Amino acid sequence: MKYIQSDKNPQVKQWKKLLTRKERDKSGMFLVEGFHLVEEALTKKEDVEEIILSEKTELPPGLDYGEIPVTVVTDEISKQLADTETTQGIFAVCQQPKNTETNGKTFLLIDSVQDPGNLGTMIRTADAAGIDAVIVGKGSVDMYNPKVLRSAQGSHFHMPVLSGDLSEWINKLQAENIPVYGTALENGVVFTEAEKGEAFALLVGNEGSGVNKELLAKTTQNLYIPIYGKSESLNVAVAAGILLYYLKTAK
Amino acid sequence: MKYIQSDKNPQVKQWKKLLTRKERDKSGMFLVEGFHLVEEALTKKEDVEEIILSEKTELPPGLDYGEIPVTVVTDEISKQLADTETTQGIFAVCQQPKNTETNGKTFLLIDSVQDPGNLGTMIRTADAAGIDAVIVGKGSVDMYNPKVLRSAQGSHFHMPVLSGDLSEWINKLQAENIPVYGTALENGVVFTEAEKGEAFALLVGNEGSGVNKELLAKTTQNLYIPIYGKSESLNVAVAAGILLYYLKTAK
């Protein structure tokens, strides 16, 4: 195993750049941190370029990393790569999947969600609900942001999670006769009236302003969740969970 | 209006102590921050002791604060009282409601939830779902933690949110013929099989270990949400949302 001691090492500098969205977008790479996420990343070995291990961390005995190179670094470098305050000292450098094709029947489309915890939780929820693919539109927080990866708890590696133009996706899905349900209080019907079917796409939007109006105008139908009490709205990840499970189990 | 310039002022010291759970428990007081939460707090004026305003913040013209004293402080003191990085410079010092009686029909019982965002989001969701009261058991994060208050977006002021012994609450509810639904993968039924009715209590638990087994053993029935994909579990606030809305709209 290679051992790197200096944080001036060019490879270390390159890894540290992956903490920024700019560099992740440019390089098409991202970094995952912690035993659980590294293990999840290794379920798609073809996308893992290398594993980084703090000198203070033991490589877990059962970890199946195949031919993937492991580089040991000082604890100090490990802390510099970490997004968490108490890092487990293990990282994987991964390629962002390039394949943007999917022939699923159920989709979650995400428009301009800003909070990394919300985006990650929605990716996790879509996975739990057995959704075939998640499409993240422009204006959302980066799906490879460390906090998004943590909140999603490995679901990025369980199904396609793609960047995409949501307007084009709505056209494409509707051309395949897949109904696209927007979420909006205006011109919507209560969600329990949504038609039941094997195939559907759910479109959710920004925490404050909701789904972009131009996208809402293109949907098959817009749904709302009734507010029975005095709160003004639901958290977007909670709303996505209620609607995905309704659509999934309504059949 | 009183004007305080020194952060050595005993009143300022007392307010700052309210940032700790220990002092909130001892004094029975808590602090809310920001225009929206102060406005929500003022819907229950009898529980608001005073308003604190940074010298850099204008008192909003429409703010109905009645006879409640307003103290102006320096921007520096305002920052010391704030839990957020960019504070709006307005606070309310509130009494924790003392009344622990409620004669509602629908309840959310929360056991040992650790994450303030999760607890706050569940309080907000229970409010949205029109739940009559939320009972927070021992071992949970303090419901008056600033991040809980922020995530709940004012729902603390919309319905009773009480500390309580969950075991006693389960007894009490069952004695009133209100079914208590636990959440557990073992010995549970899929949630869509829960019996429908006007009255119910939902019991959710810790992010990692779920609901305490002794509590689960006492419930009327335990429910689970099927995982159709590869994620191991759902976020507890998302799960609470799915179940509350199912129970609420199933009828």
The band of B251, judged by pLDDT with boundaries at 50, 70 and 90, is: low
pLDDT at A251: 53
Based on the domain organization, do A144 and A203 belong to the same domain? Answer: yes
Q: Would you say residue B100 has pLDDT above 80?
A: no
> Which residue does chain A place closest to B251, by CA atoms?
A192
Q: Looking at the partner chain, which of B126, B128, B229 has a beta carbon nearest the beta carbon of A158?
A: B229
Distance from CA of B6 to the nearest CA of A (A): 34
Q: What is the pLDDT of residues B198-228, one digit of tens each?
A: 999 999 999 999 999 999 999 999 999 999 9
| Share of residues in chain B with pLDDT > 90 (%) | 90
Based on the domain organization, do A161 and A245 belong to the same domain? Answer: yes
pLDDT at A102: 80
pLDDT at A185: 79
Q: Is residue A101 part of a domain?
A: no
Set of chain B residues whose Cβ sits within 8 Å of the Cβ of A124: 231, 234-235
Q: Is residue B121 part of a domain?
A: yes
pLDDT at B250: 64
Cα–Cα distance measured from residue B109 to residue B133, given in angstroms and rounded to the nearest whole number = 9
- Decide if B118 touches A, using CB distance below 8 A: no
Contact indicator for B199, B175 with CB cutoff of 8 Å: no
Q: Is residue B101 part of a domain?
A: no
Q: Looking at the partner chain, which of B129, B231, B238 has a beta carbon nearest the beta carbon of A229?
A: B129
Cα–Cα distance measured from residue A34 to residue A53, given in angstroms and rounded to the nearest whole number = 10
Distance from CA of A36 to the nearest CA of B (A): 12
Based on the domain organization, do A177 and A235 belong to the same domain? Answer: yes
pLDDT at B142: 98
Could you tell me the CATH number of the domain that includes residue B64? 3.30.1330.30
Q: Is residue B165 part of a domain?
A: yes
Based on the domain organization, do B221 and B141 belong to the same domain? Answer: yes
Q: Which residues of chain A have pLDDT under 50?
A: none
pLDDT at B186: 77
For residues B161 and B195, the model is more confident at B161
pLDDT at B196: 80
Strand partners, B94: B30, B48
- Decide if B106 touches A, using CB distance below 8 A: no
Cα–Cα distance measured from residue A202 to residue A236, given in angstroms and rounded to the nearest whole number = 12
- Decide if B251 touches A, using CB distance below 8 A: no
* Strand pairing class (B2-4; B70-73): parallel
State how many domains chain A has.
Answer: 2
Domain containing B37 equals 2-95
pTM of structure: 0.95
- Decide if B153 touches A, using CB distance below 8 A: yes
Based on the domain organization, do B114 and B188 belong to the same domain? Answer: yes
H-helix or E-strand spanning residue A77? helix A75-81
Cα–Cα distance measured from residue B63 to residue B68, given in angstroms and rounded to the nearest whole number = 11
Q: Is residue A100 part of a domain?
A: no
pLDDT at B187: 80
> Which residue does chain B place closest to A127, by CA atoms?
B229
Based on the domain organization, do A85 and A114 belong to the same domain? Answer: no
Based on the domain organization, do B90 and B158 belong to the same domain? Answer: no
Based on the domain organization, do A62 and A156 belong to the same domain? Answer: no
Domain limit, last residue, from B60, B95, B130? B95
Domain limit, last residue, from B39, B65, B95? B95
Q: Is residue A170 part of a domain?
A: yes
Region B2-24: what's the mean pLDDT?
Answer: 95
Q: Is residue B64 part of a domain?
A: yes
Based on the domain organization, do A153 and A81 belong to the same domain? Answer: no
Based on the domain organization, do A110 and A234 belong to the same domain? Answer: yes
Based on the domain organization, do A197 and A119 belong to the same domain? Answer: yes
Based on the domain organization, do A38 and A110 belong to the same domain? Answer: no
Could you tell me the CATH number of the domain that includes residue B232? 3.40.1280.10
Domain limit, last residue, from A70, A95, A120? A95
Set of chain A residues whose Cβ sits within 8 Å of the Cβ of B231: 124-125, 127-128, 153-155, 158
Contact indicator for A236, A122 with CB cutoff of 8 Å: yes
* Strand pairing class (A48-54; A90-95): antiparallel
Region B128-136: what's the mean pLDDT?
Answer: 97
Q: Would you say residue B88 has pLDDT above 90?
A: yes
pLDDT at B232: 92
* Subunit contact B230:A124, Cβ cutoff 8 A: no
- Decide if B249 touches A, using CB distance below 8 A: yes
Set of chain A residues whose Cβ sits within 8 Å of the Cβ of B248: 228
Spatial neighbors of B13 by CB under 8 A, at least 6 apart, are B7
Q: Which of A105, A123, A132, A231 to mutate to test the interface with B (most CBs of B within 10 A)?
A: A231
